């Protein structure tokens, strides 16, 4: 039977003739079919995926050079454009929309011979933390189906968690890759802002958004990042820094020691689950005993980061989402007796879901003339303060460690009627997006409630290889052996 452990292992099996791309695709298609109730996929591209797999098998067998992601089966979040395929941001307003071009990341995946098996469910326009804001309905956490998978990239997380594809892409504006990875017990990585082109990624908050990667191990994240972070003239915020060494060879750096900072206030925060607190505290002690320099530091801004994030992202989203007006594309009101303003209003009221409307209204409010300085300008100032303070921290330390989320996966419905409490649960993830640094969630621990949880590591801009080395050390040396089986 087909088994997947890593891209490298899969490629070795292909070269040795022990498996084929076709066998891999058939395996995943069957598994997706058998786990439909998880609701991870919104579109499945079965026929064309099988055809591509057969072509790749023929090419490889005839001795053609293979791409870096040859036959790698990938799912992508329903906010990433794939030419001639549906793209809806899991929203009613984009129902039936077909993308007319490829996102740059998709273009790069295809160039390296990846197989895109389908689009994955998410919170509408990537707004949410539980995947409960999707027009296609909830996604279930495969480890406990009464719980959410996290969000907004819930489908992308479950697809990797439940083994429905090898790796997946999500988007991370304030934690939407790291938090669902944490809730599902897998690796979730958000690159430095500007590392991967945002061309073809449906915009939520453009100065925060990044495409991110879900996988079960670090080398897989590394190779996918290497492929999708190539140069792009379509995104002016993209920064091209060639990778120094795209290989991750554990033996080359396994004894490396790091200078690690953690925020005292983050661990002492009243919202943090006591068991997560005690596990992380003992883990930090162990790191110090093992020769890493581990220091608690003061960070006085923790309570400002969630408000600053929600002011800035809702402001940006109110502007970004103004293009969905029922005229150019997407859902439009069928009522022919409306004047233009009422037509916009009805199309948008019916097309968007509740959370998206809440954020557009909030964003419009914080940008309005009378409140601009009190909210938007203040939040920008906090963002600047955070960036400056972070630069100071990185003068003395290589790495910041934080929890990924304050609790393990919520029960379905637990927070949906309490948006403030839902927003506050983003306390540990939004920081990296506000300052633009790369961050990764590593599934190291298990809670006594049976759910996994991780730790989040961050480092300086464009220092992803360093982050992956640290991550690989933590995964190899500290990952709990009784991690849930899936």
Catalytic annotation, residues? 77, 152, 176
Q: How far is the CB of 394 from ligand GLN (least distance, A)?
A: 23
Q: How far is the CB of 469 from ligand GLN (least distance, A)?
A: 25
194 CA to centre of own chain: 15
Confirm or reject binding of residue 204 to ligand GLN (CB under 6 A).
yes
Confirm or reject binding of residue 152 to ligand GLN (CB under 6 A).
yes
Inter-helix orientation angle 354-367/302-320, to 10°: 100
CA of 133: how far to CAs of 124, 130, 417, 418, 468, in Å?
A: 6, 8, 11, 13, 32
The first and second tokens of residue 374, run together, are 């009190």
Task: Label residue 98 exposed, middle or buried (CB < 10 Å: 0-12, 13-18, 19+).
Answer: middle
Residue closest to ligand GLN, measured at CB: 176
The first and second tokens of residue 271, run together, are 């919202």
Confirm or reject binding of residue 128 to ligand GLN (CB under 6 A).
yes
CB contact at 8 A, 185 and 209: no
Considering only residues 440-469, where is the footprint of ligand GLN by CB under 6 A? none
Q: Which stretch binds ligand GLN (CB under 6 A): 171-179, 224-232, 275-283, 299-307?
A: 171-179
- Binding test (CB under 6 A) with ligand GLN, winner from 126, 159, 225, 248: 126
- Binding test (CB under 6 A) with ligand GLN, winner from 226, 426, 464, 472: 426
Q: Which stretch binds ligand GLN (CB under 6 A): 168-176, 267-275, 295-303, 319-327?
A: 168-176
- The enclosing H or E element of 263 equals strand 259-263
Confirm or reject binding of residue 428 to ligand GLN (CB under 6 A).
no
Confirm or reject binding of residue 172 to ligand GLN (CB under 6 A).
yes
Name which of 104 and 152 has its Cβ closer to ligand GLN: 152
Nearest residue to 190 via CA among 199, 203, 202, 181? 181
Name which of 49 and 131 has its Cβ closer to ligand GLN: 131
Confirm or reject binding of residue 175 to ligand GLN (CB under 6 A).
yes
Q: In the chain, count H helices and then E strands.
A: 18, 11
Confirm or reject binding of residue 317 to ligand GLN (CB under 6 A).
no
Confirm or reject binding of residue 174 to ligand GLN (CB under 6 A).
yes
CB contact at 8 A, 154 and 131: yes
Name which of 153 and 469 has its Cβ closer to ligand GLN: 153
C-alpha span between 289 and 267 (Å, rounded): 19
The first and second tokens of residue 139, run together, are 């996604």
Secondary-structure breakdown of the chain: helix, strand, coil percentages, each rounded to the nearest 5: 40, 15, 45
Q: How far is the CB of 442 from ligand GLN (least distance, A)?
A: 18
Residues of this chain that interact with ligand GLN (CB under 6 A) are 126-129, 152, 171-176, 204, 313, 426
């Amino acid at each position: 039977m087909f088994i997947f452990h890593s891209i490298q292992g899969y490629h070795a099996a292909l070269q040795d003739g022990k498996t084929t791309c076709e066998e891999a695709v058939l395996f995943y298609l069957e598994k997706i079919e058998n786990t439909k109730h998880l609701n991870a996929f919104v579109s499945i591209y079965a026929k064309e995926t099988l055809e591509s797999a057969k072509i790749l098998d023929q090419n490889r067998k005839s001795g053609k050079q293979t791409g870096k992601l040859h036959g790698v089966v990938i799912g992508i979040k329903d906010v990433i454009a794939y030419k001639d395929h549906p793209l809806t941001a899991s929203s009613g307003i984009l129902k039936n929309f077909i993308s007319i071009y490829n996102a740059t990341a998709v273009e790069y995946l295809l160039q390296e011979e990846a197989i895109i098996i389908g689009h994955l469910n998410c919170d509408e326009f990537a707004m949410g933390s539980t995947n409960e804001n999707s027009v296609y309905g909830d996604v279930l956490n495969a480890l406990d189906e009464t719980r959410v998978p996290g969000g907004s990239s819930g489908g992308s997380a479950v697809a990797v968690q439940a083994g429905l594809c090898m790796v997946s892409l999500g988007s991370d504006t304030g934690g939407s890759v790291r938090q669902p990875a944490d809730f599902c017990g897998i690796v979730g990585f958000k690159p430095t802002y500007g590392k991967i082109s945002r061309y073809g990624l449906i915009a939520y908050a453009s100065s925060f958004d990044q495409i991110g990667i879900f996988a079960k191990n670090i080398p897989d994240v590394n190779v996918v990042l290497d492929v999708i972070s190539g140069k792009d003239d379509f995104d002016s915020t993209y920064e091209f820094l060639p990778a120094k060494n795209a290989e991750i060879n554990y033996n080359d750096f396994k004894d490396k020691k790091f200078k690690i900072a953690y925020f005292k206030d983050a661990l002492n925060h009243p919202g943090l689950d006591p068991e997560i607190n005690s596990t992380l505290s003992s883990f930090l002690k162990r790191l110090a005993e093992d020769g890493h320099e581990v220091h608690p530091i003061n960070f006085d801004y923790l309570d400002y980061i969630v408000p600053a994030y929600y002011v800035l992202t809702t402001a940006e989203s109110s502007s970004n989402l103004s293009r969905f007006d029922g005229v150019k594309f997407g859902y439009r009101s069928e009522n022919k007796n409306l004047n233009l303003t009422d037509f916009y209003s009805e199309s948008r009221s019916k097309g968007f879901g509740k959370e998206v409307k809440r954020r557009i209204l909030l964003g419009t409010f914080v940008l309005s003339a009378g409140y601009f300085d009190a909210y938007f300008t203040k939040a920008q100032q906090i963002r600047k303060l955070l960036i400056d303070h972070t630069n100071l921290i990185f003068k003395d330390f290589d790495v910041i460690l934080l929890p990924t989320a304050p609790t393990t996966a919520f029960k379905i419905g637990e927070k949906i009627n309490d948006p403030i409490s839902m927003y506050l649960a983003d306390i540990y993830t939004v920081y990296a997006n506000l300052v633009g640094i790369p961050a990764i969630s590593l599934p190291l621990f298990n809670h006594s409630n049976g759910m996994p949880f991780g730790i989040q590591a961050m480092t300086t801009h464009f220092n992803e290889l360093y982050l992956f080395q640290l991550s690989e050390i933590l995964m190899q040396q500290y990952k709990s052996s009784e991690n849930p089986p899936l």
